[in-house]
Structure 1
């Protein structure tokens, strides 16, 4: 899967688990918004839209797109 496919699928309502530096993360959603959550401590960032998550969500100060080559799905 490439980055654009991930964005499209999340915009369509799919949720994803992925790993960055061997740490688990989740992209999830509910009626209140979209969430980028770190598994080990449940730290999360919340957004009103999938696009906002991809634009403003950060892991180690970088966007998912910037980290894409290091992410394992």
Structure 2
């Protein structure tokens, strides 16, 4: 899967678990919005839209797109 496909699938409501530097992260959604969560300590960032998640969500100060080559899905 490439980055654009991930964005499209999240926008359609799919949820994903992925790994970055041996840490597990979860992209999820509910009726209130979209979430980017670090699993080990449940640290979560919330967004109104999936686009906001991909633009404003940060892991180690970088967007998912900036880290894409290091992410394992």
Scaled to the shorter chain, the TM-score interval is over 0.9
Corresponding residue for 1:3? 3
How many corresponding residue pairs?
73
Corresponding residue for 2:72? 72
Alignment partner of 1:44 is 2:44: yes
> Which ranges in structure 2 are unaligned for 5 or more consecutive residues?
none
Normalising by structure 1, we get a TM-score of 1.00
CA distance in 2, matches of 1:32, 1:11: 14
CA distance in 1, matches of 2:2, 2:14: 15
Normalising by structure 2, we get a TM-score of 1.00
SS of alignment partner, residue 59 of structure 1: coil
Q: List 4+ stretches of structure 1 deviating above 6 A.
A: none
CA RMSD between the two structures = 0.2
TM superposition shift of 1:67: 0.1
> Which ranges in structure 1 are unaligned for 5 or more consecutive residues?
none
Corresponding residue for 1:17? 17
